[in-house]
């Protein structure tokens, strides 16, 4: 491809991305410029309460996740005790659980009719459930459970990059253990901590399933938007969507500013400290017990889900443990056409959106890194943009943009089979984009030149050299994108039709019909498929 053609291709890709990720948001912004809706938004206390709730819930989630994840990271990276390796990877497990599945697992375990509540009720002979899993506390519990993993993984990665000689230097200069941590280790892992904080903040700001299921009367912005939209007050929903987008961008901007220089990281090239065995037998036993106890606690939701999925409809009333177990729910799930459909829908829609996201990211990566086209910064920014805005924003934006017939920019896609894959695609772009851009950057250009000097044309070089080299990044990006689409709820709830309903919608409707066993069976299937896909994606 000549330089000129590459420039043209780069411009086309940039325009396509603008249409996909910027144009819908602009449509929302325009529709939000509605006097009555703006007055309603600024006048109602409930709107401000929801916006404030989104912000404080997100900040509290960051604090809680850090309080769990950071100490765990130090424990597993610096100390050795029996079961360290196994537990170390078990601890990262909640990240495999799609948000909705995690939420219903919590419901079955800690909810008012969950195992724990039943046990307490029976134990003390109470007439009613001892508690209700509802409101901000319930949301924070779920957030802390699923998001401490970000802090845990990021901090461990940061600690692993730490040069042991720097710790020794601090000690040689007379610093004690705590002083070394405070003055050397924490500043050095700060970029990792900020990275985890940003990820946690953005995830909880966009979190939908936990507030949707556990919120009760407590509204955050994501649930508020969907409720307003379903109530038919479209202009107000637009204003709310825009408000959430503004908060997300502002939050991202403020958190980024605390990131500091990268110079610190660049220095940290060396051998990480080896995990130290815990010498004192008492503390060792304590650490081991705490580690295993924690692992059980982490696995309980998964086990609960599996157990509930084995309970046939109506077979479990007041007992602490279900009296009958069978594979009835799974049989129904796979034999009844109407129950199988959501599963197949989710699979094909996720597969299509992932495939397109991968191809787009491949082309974009090549244009940005290899051909260094003039619009490369723009392409990179556009690929990352959907990550900076909560899923609700895009769900609403796409719903608005594609319910109007105004070619060439707008078509009626809402109500067709195309809209959900399109929504999943937008959410997938940052994942595949980042993975493949990084992959291209790590790829030695000499490899492609070597292929060319050996007589290989462009296509053969791509197939035999470039793609095999990009495979790890490609697999990682694609598996993350696929799992995100599979577990999506917020775009699905706004855009699904009965024909194209995905698993998450089916889980919600099963719950509404009190078919907890079927909902759990769907959850287990979702969990297993996600874990398999992520496992394949992480293989080298």
Q: Which is nearer to another protein, 288 or 469 (CB)?
A: 469
Task: State the SS3 of 45-56.
Answer: HHHHHHHHHHHH
From the CB of 465, what's the least distance to another protein, in Å? 6
How many residues sit close enough to another protein to count as binding (CB under 8 A)?
18
What is the Cα–Cα distance from 380 to 385, expressed in whole angstroms? 9
Q: Spell out the residues 6+ positions from residue 20 whose beta carbon is closer than 8 angstroms to its own.
A: 422, 425, 426, 429
509: exposed, middle or buried (Cβ count in 10 Å: 0-12, 13-18, 19+): middle
Q: How far apart are CA 482 and CA 533, in angstroms?
A: 8
Contacts of 273 by beta carbon, 8 Å cutoff, 6+ apart: 78, 162, 164, 167
Give the binding range for another protein (CB under 8 A) out of 247-255, 324-332, 460-468, 477-485. 460-468
Q: Which of 377, 441, 464, 539 binds another protein (CB under 8 A)?
A: 464
| Member of 457, 498, 512, 540 binding another protein (CB under 8 A) | 457
Minimum CB distance to another protein smaller for 252 or for 456? 456
> Could you tell me how far CA 186 lies from the centroid of its own chain?
26
Cα separation, 68 vs 58, in Å, equals: 15
Q: Cβ of residue 5: shortest distance to another protein, in angstroms? A: 14
Dihedral angle sign, alpha carbons of residues 186, 188, 190, 193: negative
CA angle 349, 329, 314 (to 5 degrees): 130
Min dist CB 165 to another protein, Å, is 24
Alpha-carbon span 398 to 396, nearest angstrom: 6
How far does Cα 242 stand from its chain's mean position? Answer: 21
The CB-of-480 to another protein minimum distance in angstroms stands at 22
Residue 185 contacts by C-beta under 8 Å, 6 or more apart in sequence?
A: 159, 162, 167
Smallest distance from another protein to CB 433, Å: 23
Q: Which phi and psi (to 5°) does residue 512 adopt?
A: -60, -35
Least CB distance from residue 468 to another protein, whole Å? 4
Q: Is 512 exposed, middle or buried (0-12, 13-18, 19+ CB in 10 A)?
A: exposed
Site string for another protein, 467-496 (x = CB under 8 A): -xx-x-------------------------
Nearer to another protein, 293 or 445 (CB): 445
**Smaller CB separation from another protein, 14 or 451:** 451
Please give the structure tokens belonging to residue 232.
């038919």
Closer to another protein by Cβ: residue 386 or 473: 473
Count of other CB atoms within 10 angstroms of residue 312? 17
- Pick the piece of the chain touching another protein (CB under 8 A) from 207-215, 407-415, 465-473, 481-489: 465-473
Q: Between the CA of residue 499 and those of 73, 100, 114, 332, what are the distances in Å?
A: 45, 21, 32, 19
Q: Which of 258, 460, 538, 539 binds another protein (CB under 8 A)?
A: 460
Picking from 160, 139, 162, the residue whose alpha carbon sits closest to that of residue 65 is 139
Chain centroid to CA 116 = 28
| Nearest distance from C-beta of residue 363 to another protein, angstroms | 21
Helices within 33-44 (DSSP H only):
35-43
Residue closer to another protein by CB (options 228, 466) is: 466
**Closest CB 138 distance from another protein, rounded Å:** 48
Task: Kindly tell me which of 323 and 457 has the beta carbon lying closer to another protein.
Answer: 457
Contacts to another protein from residues 139-158, by CB under 8 A: none
Shortest distance, CB of residue 539 to another protein, whole angstroms?
14
Query: Could you give the CA distance from residue 1 to residue 313 in angstroms, rounded to a whole number?
Result: 61
Q: Measured from the CB atom, is 230 or 454 closer to another protein?
A: 454
Please, which residue, 2 or 335, has the CB nearer to another protein? 2
Q: Answer left, alpha or beta for residue 276, where phi above 0 means left and psi between -120 and 50 means alpha.
A: beta
Distance of closest approach, residue 436 Cβ to another protein, in angstroms: 17
| Nearest distance, CB of residue 358 and another protein, angstroms | 19
Q: Which is nearer to another protein, 421 or 537 (CB)?
A: 537
Out of 465, 494, 526, 533, point to the residue binding another protein (CB under 8 A): 465
Pattern of binders to another protein over 306-345, x per CB under 8 A? ----------------------------------------
Return the number of the residue (314 or 445) whose C-beta is nearest another protein. Answer: 445
In the region spanning residues 83 to 142, those forming contacts with another protein, defined by CB under 8 A, are: none
Q: Which of residues 427-456 bind another protein (CB under 8 A)?
A: 444, 446-447, 449-456
Q: Measured from the CB of residue 450, what is the shortest distance to another protein in angstroms?
A: 4
Q: Which is nearer to another protein, 179 or 449 (CB)?
A: 449
Contacting residues toward another protein, per CB under 8 A: 444, 446-447, 449-457, 460, 464-465, 468-469, 471
């Amino acid at each position: 491809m000549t330089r000129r053609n590459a420039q043209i291709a780069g411009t086309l890709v940039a325009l396509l991305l603008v249409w996909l990720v910027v144009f819908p948001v602009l449509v929302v912004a325009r529709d939000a410029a509605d006097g009555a809706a703006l007055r309603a938004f600024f006048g109602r206390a409930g709107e401000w309460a929801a916006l404030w709730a989104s912000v404080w819930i997100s900040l509290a989630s960051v604090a809680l996740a850090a309080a769990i994840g950071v100490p765990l990271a130090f424990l597993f990276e610096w100390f050795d005790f029996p079961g360290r390796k196994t537990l170390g990877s078990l601890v990262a497990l909640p990240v495999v659980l799609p948000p909705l599945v995690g939420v219903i697992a919590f419901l079955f375990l800690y909810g008012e009719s969950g195992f724990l509540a039943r046990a307490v009720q029976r134990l003390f002979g109470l007439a009613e459930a001892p508690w209700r899993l509802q409101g901000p506390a319930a949301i924070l519990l779920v957030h802390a459970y699923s998001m401490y993993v970000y802090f845990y993984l990021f901090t461990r990665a940061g600690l692993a990059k730490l040069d042991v000689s720097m710790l020794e230097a601090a000690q040689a200069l007379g610093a004690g253990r705590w002083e070394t941590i405070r003055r050397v280790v924490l500043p050095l892992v700060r970029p990792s901590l900020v990275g985890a904080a940003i990820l946690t903040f953005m995830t909880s700001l966009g979190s939908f399933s936990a507030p949707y299921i556990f919120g009760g009367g407590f509204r955050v912005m994501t649930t508020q938007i969907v409720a307003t939209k379903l109530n038919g007050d479209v202009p107000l929903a637009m204003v709310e969507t825009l408000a959430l987008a503004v908060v997300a961008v502002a939050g991202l901007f403020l958190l980024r500013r605390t990131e500091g220089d990268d110079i610190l990281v660049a220095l940290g090239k060396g051998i990480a400290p080896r995990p130290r065995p815990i010498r004192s037998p008492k503390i060792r036993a304590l650490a081991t017990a705490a580690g295993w106890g924690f692992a059980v606690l982490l696995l309980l939701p998964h086990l609960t889900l599996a157990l509930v999925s084995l309970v046939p409809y109506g077979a479990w009333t007041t007992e602490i443990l279900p009296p009958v177990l069978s594979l009835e729910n799974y049989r129904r799930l796979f034999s009844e056409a109407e129950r199988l459909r959501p599963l197949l829908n989710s699979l094909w829609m996720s597969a299509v959106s992932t495939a397109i996201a991968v191809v787009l990211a491949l082309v974009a990566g090549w244009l940005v890194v290899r051909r260094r086209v003039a619009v490369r910064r723009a392409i990179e920014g556009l690929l990352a943009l959907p990550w900076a805005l909560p899923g609700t924003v895009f769900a609403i934006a796409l719903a608005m943009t594609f319910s109007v017939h105004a070619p060439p920019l707008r078509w009626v896609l809402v109500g067709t089979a195309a809209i959900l894959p399109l929504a999943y695609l937008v959410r997938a772009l940052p994942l595949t984009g980042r993975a493949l851009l990084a992959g291209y950057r790590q790829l030695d250009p000499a490899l492609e030149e070597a292929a060319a000097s050996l007589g290989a044309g462009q296509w053969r070089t791509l197939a035999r050299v470039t793609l095999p080299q990009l495979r790890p990044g490609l697999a990682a990006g694609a598996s993350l994108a696929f799992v995100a689409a599979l577990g999506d709820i917020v775009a699905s709830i706004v855009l699904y039709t009965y024909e194209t309903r995905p698993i998450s919608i089916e889980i919600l409707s099963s719950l509404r019909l009190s078919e907890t066993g079927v909902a759990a069976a769907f959850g287990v299937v979702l969990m297993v498929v996600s874990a398999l896909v992520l496992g394949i994606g992480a293989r080298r």
